Amino acid sequence: MQLLDGKLLSSQIKQEIAAEVTQIREQGGKIPHLVAILVGNNGASETYVASKMKNCEEVGMHSTLIRFDTSVTEDELLARVREVNDNPDMDGLIVQLPLPAHINPDKIMETINPAKDVDGFHPINIGRMAKGLPAYVSATPQGVLDMIKRYGIETSGKHCVVVGRSQIVGLPMSILMQRNTYPGNCTVTLTHSRTRNLAEICRTADILVAALGKPEFVTADMVKEGAVVIDVGLERVPDATKKSGFALKGDVKFSEVAPKTSFITPVPGGVGLMTICSLMQNTLKAARGEVY
Ligand code: GUN
């Protein structure tokens, strides 16, 4: 079993991004600038956004955090998104999800300029990604692809089972893994909460991507000997022995699954760190106008 070490890879990728930003600065080019909008104070969202901003600063990019109280109206939020769209100094915009129930996330995503949509959530980017056209690809699936690529894992002809059909991870992951490029060329099965015989299907996976958001859902009996297991889950589970009051768990029961695998991602220290790198890579592309 080999660990897919997100900590190691992400620090290498960050160095690469930092070197590119330094080069841009030396050549008097546009310093990439990521803007994040955060509504309310959901603990997990606070942590994610703070980490995105911190990482941008560490590689020399500019970052701006725009905060709103939960009481913000949809119209106020849309107006702020349009301001960022119109600001030529701001290259990338993310609106952290989830949003309060009175705000329609689809409306917000569709208002973001696709050329600044570094999360790759706009229908135009999802459609272009599906067609294999230049697009911003959602950061988590892109991070998983990068991980597979940098470890040189063979994917062609393999059976990839994705558990979870979220718009952000499961769905784009399934589309990307079937594309006619590396990493890809897999036979993909996209499973979800209504799937029958889920354990049986998972056992046929050469590559198993767990992205359903249920702590330690994938157990050893669901995994084939020698499979590649990618754990996208990151949930806070109450734990009185921790100072924070919670422990971070993935969707895979690591201790029992790991010994059966050829490669597996740890949680934390796996996919999560790759996601932030993808977001910064997308912001770099936005500043350079590489996609649109
Ligand atoms: N909420 C959970 N993951 C993400 C993400 O990748 N981007 C945004 N904007 N919100 C999220």
- Listed by start position, the domains of the chain span 27-117, 139-272
Residues of the chain with pLDDT below 70 are: none
Q: Which CATH architecture group holds 139-272?
A: 3-Layer(aba) Sandwich (3.40)
96 is a catalytic site residue = yes
| Residue 9: predicted pLDDT | 98
158 is a catalytic site residue = no
- Which residue is listed with tokens 């990482």? 55
Asked if the domains 27-117 and 139-272 are classified in one and the same CATH topology, the answer is yes
CA distances from 228 to 13, 15, 166, 211 (A): 22, 27, 21, 14
Question: How many angstroms separate the alpha carbon of residue 96 from the centre of ligand 1?
Answer: 5
Q: Which CATH architecture group holds 27-117?
A: 3-Layer(aba) Sandwich (3.40)
Instruction: Tell whether residue 82 is among the known ligand binding residues.
Output: no
Q: Is 38 in the pocket of ligand 1 (CB under 6 A)?
A: no
| Residue 154: predicted pLDDT | 98
**Cα gap 81→61, rounded to integer Å:** 20
Residue 256: Cβ within 10 Å count: 14
Q: Are the C-beta atoms of residues 191 and 218 closer than 8 Å to each other?
A: no
pLDDT in tens, 153-162: 999 999 999 9
Instruction: Tell whether residue 233 is among the known ligand binding residues.
Output: no
**Cα gap 91→81, rounded to integer Å:** 12
Q: Are the C-beta atoms of residues 225 and 260 closer than 8 Å to each other?
A: yes
Question: How many angstroms separate the alpha carbon of residue 97 from the centre of ligand 1?
Answer: 5
User: Concatenated DSSP letters for 41-58?
Assistant: --HHHHHHHHHHHHHHHH
